[in-house]
A and B are shown apart, each in its own frame.
Chain A
Amino acid sequence: MELTILFYVFAALTIIPAFVVVFSRSLIYAAFSLLFTFLGVAGLYVLLSADFIAVAQIMVYIGGIMILLVFGVMLTKQATDVEISTGIMKTLPALIVVGFALGTLIMVLTGASWTQIGTIPQIEGTALELGELLMTTFVLPFEVAGILLLVAVMGAALIARKPKEVQS
């Protein structure tokens, strides 16, 4: 029972800021409400007994991506901060399409008969199992992810720096 109440609390903490991100006119409000969405998702991971992923979520998203986004907001400050809204001609078809998609998804998800096959043992957390998987079954994707991150950081630095003046 307490778990259900906690689920609803975290779900509200996830969904309401998500709406603020999409519908708020202010960039910095959107950025900071995204932080609460990430926190709510981390709480849901804890409810799902995925402790390592929850900590990784807080470190990667709140500690990394969030800071990058806030820097992006501050570096691209415009004189007219208020965004000119898209016309109703573009919003209405978008809302109709995603309404159909959401209706279909909810119909399918509530109609299916889900059964629980197993549980993850909750004694010492999932870090041990994840570490073993990372070094055995998933060792190649792990290395590839490392290379991807290295290349991405180098590329980001290369793209974002000031273009060098041509020596003449």
Chain B
Amino acid sequence: MIPVHYYLILSAVMFITGVVGVLTRRNAIIIFMCIELMLNSVNLTFVAFSSYLGNEAGQMFVFFVMAVAAAEAAVGLAIVIALFRNKQTVNINEVNILKW
């Protein structure tokens, strides 16, 4: 069987890729995609540990993470669309009306 740290390193690389995207990109939708990447990498870690522990509880957590991710995507894209209607942009550098 494949050693468990292969999966863990893969998910670490995926998570870091998502973090790089959130930190460097300025488009709100790309930032959403990077958040989904990070959530997926955490799910992969959960499933890997669950499988190598022989316990299904980790897969249960993945199930709930998916539910929350779906809710987050729906609400987040609604916010992005409302934002686009008001300011005609999704560049987060131009969305600074709450900045002090």
Do A and B come from the same complex?
A: yes
B29 near A76 with CB under 8 A, answer yes
A27 near B30 with CB under 8 A, answer yes
User: Contacts A69-B33, A78-B89, A106-B9 known; A14 to B14 CB distance under 8 Å?
Assistant: yes
Interface size on B, residues (CB 8 A): 71
Q: A72 is contacted by which of B20, B55, B81 (Cβ under 8 Å)?
A: B81
Residue-wise interface mask of A (28-40) relative to B, using a CB-CB cutoff of 8 A (1 in contact, 0 not): 0011001001100
A18 near B17 with CB under 8 A, answer yes
Residue-wise interface mask of A (68-111) relative to B, using a CB-CB cutoff of 8 A (1 in contact, 0 not): 11011101101000011010001100110110011001100110
Chain A residues in the interface with B (C-beta under 8 A): 3-4, 7, 11, 14-15, 18-19, 21-22, 27, 30-31, 34, 37-38, 41, 44-45, 47-50, 52-53, 56-57, 60-61, 64-65, 68-69, 71-73, 75-76, 78, 83-84, 86, 90-91, 94-95, 97-98, 101-102, 105-106, 109-110, 112, 114, 116-120, 126, 129-130, 133-134, 137-138, 141, 145, 148-149, 151-153, 155-160, 162
